[in-house]
Amino acid sequence: MSLIRKLRDRLQGATLHDLWVETRWVLHHSKRYRRSIAAYVLLGIASIALSLLSSLSSRELINAIVYLQGGGRRVLFCGVTVVLLAGSTIVLNALVSRFSAKINLRVGNELRAEVFGMFLNTDWESLQQFHSGDLLSRINTDVSNVAGSVLGWIPSLILRLTQFLASLAVILVYDPTMAVLALLSAPVTLLLSRPLVGKMRSFNRDMRAVGSEMTAFQEETLQNIPAIKAFHLVDAFRERLDRVQERYYDTGIAFQRFSILTSSFLSSCGMLVSYLCLGWGAYRLWQGRIDFGTMVLFLQLASYLSSSLSALIHLVPSAIEASVSARRIMSVLELPRERLDHPERAQRLVREGVPLTLSLQGLEFSYQGRAPVLKQLDLQVQPHEMIAIVGPSGSGKTTLFRLLLGLLRPTGGSAVLTGGGEALDVSPSTRCCFAYVPQDNVIFSGTVAETLRLVRPNAPEEALWAALRAACAEDFVRGLPGGLDCPLRERGGSLSEGQNQRLAIARAILADAPILLLDEVTSALDLETEQRVLENIAALPGKTCILSTHRPSVLSLCSRVYRLHNAALELLPESEWRRLYRNN
């Protein structure tokens, strides 16, 4: 009784519980492929049934030959049956392989698309705790591991167990003692399961963590090659890569040692059992209790038993790898998601060109575990106004824009958009009301036209040129080889910073959004171009503009100027910002 309780306790341990939770998650995400999985499993079971029938037919054939049972016709019949069954098994196995390859690729793609979409919908602030290289590694390697397990270890477990139990059932019919011998390794495997699974999970976690560290390091290095070269850091970065690779090697080699030891031990148990069965079969033949045909049947079944047992044992590492990967994906998916509450209300206002007023009342915000960045902010921006926010570096200008975009949630107060009889709290649902140009470069790879049409896919060519003209980008785009069709490298690598800024402004102007948020977007422009760009923006019909700047030269175009300082927003008297403007 106490042994059973001990076994139960071991099976209910935290490690196995985690494994079960993660496996359930994988199963839940495989739900939509259940028909394909079921078809795959059924084909596999049919193949097992054919193999067993083939073994039983071999027994009949051997007995017909050795003991001359049923004459020549029976030998011929049994021989043809054996050949037909063997041929069918080969064809069926080929079908199963083709089917599984197709499903694996499809499941991998769909699961990756699903997880990628979920990552994009995750609350931005929470997602910040992960390095982008780590996220990349989760989307690629971890999703591949999980996708592989959908048609990998889960159906394989069913098939291998079926093969094991079916072989055992046939043995049970012919010799119950041999069936008991075949089950001898089960208690050893059960007792070892929890510590083995625990250790394997911890190795797997370490491997995935150091793998992520390597991807993150590589990604960051490739993004910053000019800075690395400029600071003569090539050798230092090579050394850093060597250190990460060394950690990867050490973890990998320790895991390998452990895997080889456990797999050799468990395979030895399986082999011992299969030789025990074989010995017992030989003994029974010697005693004259079984015939030659049954002995051959036992030989085949013993090989099925040992191969299914060893396949079951080898499923453990892949199951654990998939569960660790599932946990890594789950830990991102468990973060809060962006909530979209009736986005169609804001979309209608934008579609109908309703003038919108933005009102902030007592708005407050602090990043997790940090001192407040914004305290008791009050502000009202009327439709078609252009206002500026100035303030020292780190005073919270970008943070305010992130709040307006619904990327961050206020920790106090409110931000509301009113117009057309609606009053909408600023949130991810009202993001369509804003066109944002951030401080840093956000040009994607593709042609100039593709970059612009990201925000308005059906925009006609004239609209693209009009937006480029307003952003003072028309001349340089006309000068590019191919003009609008000129391919741009990632992060606008083939353009200057100022050209990238103007392209990003043109893209924001092209968007349907009525409120432009410009976060120090003219910092790389000369004073004259900057002035012209902002004059053009101020003249755009139906656009409101909130800009942040460190350059007083642009303030003359604004109706009001606010200063963010010590987390508070203060309206600057005109005399003061005009003085700032004149001094420049």
Contacts of 293 (CB under 8 A, 6+ apart): 58, 59, 60, 61, 62, 63, 66
Q: Does 391 bind ligand ATP (CB under 6 A)?
A: yes
Region binding ligand ATP by CB under 6 A among candidate stretches 9-17, 292-300, 390-398, 505-513: 390-398
DSSP letters, 397-439, are: HHHHHHHHTTSS--SEEEEEEEETTEEEE-SGGGGGGEEEE-S
Site string for ligand ATP, 423-462 (x = CB under 6 A): ----------------x-----------------------
Among 145, 294, 395, 430, binds ligand ATP (CB under 6 A): 395
CB of 424 to ligand ATP, least distance (A): 24
- Cα separation, 571 vs 387, in Å, equals 11
- Cα separation, 105 vs 438, in Å, equals 38
CB of 362 to ligand ATP, least distance (A): 19
CB of 463 to ligand ATP, least distance (A): 31
Q: Contacts with ligand ATP: how many residues (CB under 6 A)? A: 13
Q: Does 397 bind ligand ATP (CB under 6 A)?
A: yes
CB of 521 to ligand ATP, least distance (A): 12
Name which of residues 98 to 137 contact ligand ATP (CB under 6 A): 128
- Cα separation, 390 vs 439, in Å, equals 14
Task: Characterize 459-484 residue by residue with b for buried, 16 or more Cβ atoms within 10 angstroms of its Cβ, and e for exposed.
Answer: beeeebbbbbebbbbbeebeebeebb
- Cα separation, 311 vs 163, in Å, equals 11
Name which of residues 299 to 358 contact ligand ATP (CB under 6 A): none
Question: Residue 499 corresponds to which amino acid?
Answer: Q
Region binding ligand ATP by CB under 6 A among candidate stretches 36-44, 346-354, 394-402, 490-498: 394-402
In the complex with ligand ATP, the residue whose CB is nearer, 391 or 498, is 391
Region binding ligand ATP by CB under 6 A among candidate stretches 170-178, 267-275, 391-399, 551-559: 391-399
Task: Characterize 169-200 residue by residue with b for buried, 16 or more Cβ atoms within 10 angstroms of its Cβ, and e for exposed.
Answer: ebbeebbeebbebbeebeeebeeebbebbbeb
Among 14, 370, 458, 575, binds ligand ATP (CB under 6 A): 370
- Cα separation, 299 vs 277, in Å, equals 9
Distances (CA, A) of 536 to 297, 422, 473, 532, 543: 88, 30, 12, 6, 11
Among 231, 286, 367, 444, binds ligand ATP (CB under 6 A): 367
CB of 408 to ligand ATP, least distance (A): 9
Among 399, 451, 501, 549, binds ligand ATP (CB under 6 A): 399
**Contacts to ligand ATP by CB under 6 A:** 128, 367, 370, 373, 391, 393-399, 439
